Amino acid sequence: MKRQFFIFFLFFSLFAFSQVEEQKLDQLIQNTLKTFDVPGISVGIVKDGKVLYAKGFGVSSLTSKQKMDENTLVGIASNSKGFTATALAMLADEGKLNFDDKVSKYIPEFQMNDAYVSQEVTIKDLITHRAGLGLGQGDLMFFPEGGPLTVNDIIHNVRYLKPENPFRTTLDYNNIMFIVAGEVIHRVSGLSWAEFIEQRILKPVGMTSSFGSYNRAKAANVSNIIDAHAPVDGKVVAVPHDWNETGNAAGGIMSNIKDMTTWAEFLINGFTTKDGKKLVTDKQIQQLWNLQISTPVALKNPYDSNFGGYGLGWFLTDVKGHKQVYHTGGLIGTVTQFTLIPDLKLGIIVLTNQQSGAAFSTITNTIKDSYLGMPQKDWLKTYGDRMAKMEAEYVKGKKEIFAKSDTFKKDKNSQIKGEQIVGTYTDPWFGDIQISKEGNAFRIFCKNSPRLKGELLPYSPNVMIAKWDDRSYDADAFVNFNLDENGKAQGMKLKPISDVTDFSFDFEDLDLKRTK
């Protein structure tokens, strides 16, 4: 790509797109679709109070072949967290709560594993990822979708999650605490989280096509909506929607580029709607966009960033001397990115229907670099080469693991027998996992996550591989049985076979004991 492509954005604040420059951005997005095998992408740019770009590319579904456009609804996933924090800020402005209030004030039954933390944890702790729970810890209670656990069940089960870090010391990204925060909104306002978001935020802001949850969008018979897509055996295919209603406060909103550019304008304009109504006071905005807990930043990085961390519902960092407020979101089969540089009055939004973060990073970084006046960098090649290398290493590693399993299958005498492992195993927060034998095959089934089921393959004398039926999960796991002196399993531990497995498959947080 020519250097002019990286320069023309600098003049957006003065000039609208020329046809030539628009075509250059169009081409970058088309190349991104091909490089990362993404069926559909929509992109929006807001600058100086104007929407400069809002377009869709590719298809919303490989099944229907419907075109992806600026009106196509996408699950924005964890970009919903900014809405949850905004809702709490509105309630704080109304005097109905304070960010430093104890959670137990609104949810008396709420308990964490530590008695002291149970009494001290605040609303602010919930939405800053600093309550002590680990990365994705507890997500299996609602991920993947289809399980029977309710929000109240999840709140009750939090007490069984053993924190990975001391209270308020570490930023460990966690969805469960946002679900608890959503319940605070429900109990204070009398509205469900989705109702509050739609009535108090989406409609006033002007996000007229958006919904507080996937089910609410489907109930409205919306036809222009994506299918999620994921690679299965090297080929991208449509996969089921995977977000439970219980997880809405952490990632439930369905929106499109048209509405998300409106959201960006609203935020950049001081949380003020187009008709001049300010939904959040400056006092609360300061809390939302001020660093609450920090993370280390590499000494050398492309944007000369000096700090990084999390505010209330938003990641924060500095890029070339400018404050950046941003978030990403990911479900099985879709990822999204939302980036603001408030002092430049710049917003960049990328929505996709495939789970390649490299795709949204390529587009966002290219646009952002041009506004920051940075030298040309071919992000498409950088991320393309990186992902190709990672994929090759992953495929090689997976083949080696399954090859070892195939070899061990031949050693019948060393393999685990049915009488050793068949039964029910229980984890206090996740519930029952059943191991059964059907013919010559072993099966694993998770009662509270019914889509999480599959075949157990032999791997070593006390370890098997859970090969899940839904191959889009890319989450096969080692199942390590704790055998007693008689060779009978008393419990088991699970661990993903690969580092590429989504952190929401938090198998390593399970402590399963045999009950039957």
CA angle 217, 219, 225 (to 5 degrees): 40
pTM as predicted: 0.94
> Is 372 in the same domain as 404?
no
> Is 141 in the same domain as 212?
yes
What are the C-alpha distances in Å from 65 to residues 39, 236, 352?
9, 14, 15
> Is 239 in the same domain as 109?
yes
Closest CA to 349 of 335, 330, 334, 364: 364
Looking at residue 7, its pLDDT comes to 37
pLDDT (tens digit per residue) in 137-162: 999 999 998 899 999 999 999 999 99
List the domain range (segments joined by +) for residue 413: 396-514
pLDDT (tens digit per residue) in 423-460: 999 999 999 999 999 988 999 999 999 999 999 999 99
Q: Is residue 389 part of a domain?
A: no
For residue 477, give the CATH number of its domain: 2.40.128.50
Q: How confident is the model at residue 17 (pLDDT cuts 50, 70, 90)?
A: low
Q: H-helix or E-strand containing 418?
A: helix 418-421
Is beta strand 489-496 parallel, antiparallel or unpaired with respect to 322-331?
unpaired
Pick from 312, 343, 377: which residue ends a domain? 377
> Is 468 in the same domain as 423?
yes
Q: How far apart are CA 432 and CA 492, in angstroms?
A: 12
> Is 96 in the same domain as 22?
yes
Mean model confidence pLDDT for the chain: 93
> Is 240 in the same domain as 320?
yes
Give the 3-state secondary structure of residue 206.
Answer: coil
pLDDT exceeds cutoff 60 at 10: no
> Is 365 in the same domain as 412?
no
> Is 353 in the same domain as 484?
no
Looking at residue 2, its pLDDT comes to 34
Q: Is residue 468 part of a domain?
A: yes
pLDDT (tens digit per residue) in 253-294: 999 999 999 999 999 999 999 999 999 999 999 999 999 999
Domain tally, the chain:
2
pLDDT exceeds cutoff 60 at 328: yes
> Is 348 in the same domain as 222?
yes
Can the peptide bond before residue 144 be classed as cis, meaning omega within 30 degrees of 0?
yes
Of all residues in the chain, the percent with pLDDT exceeding 90 is 90
Amino acid in the structure at residue 507 = F
Looking at residue 3, its pLDDT comes to 36
Q: Is residue 471 part of a domain?
A: yes
pLDDT (tens digit per residue) in 97-111: 999 999 999 999 999
> Is 304 in the same domain as 418?
no
Looking at residue 1, its pLDDT comes to 34
Over residues 180-197, the mean pLDDT reads 98
> Is 338 in the same domain as 473?
no
Closest CA to 241 of 207, 216, 209, 208: 216
pLDDT exceeds cutoff 90 at 409: no
> Is 192 in the same domain as 247?
yes
Lowest mean pLDDT among 82-91, 234-243, 504-513: 234-243
Q: Is residue 77 part of a domain?
A: yes
pLDDT exceeds cutoff 70 at 327: yes
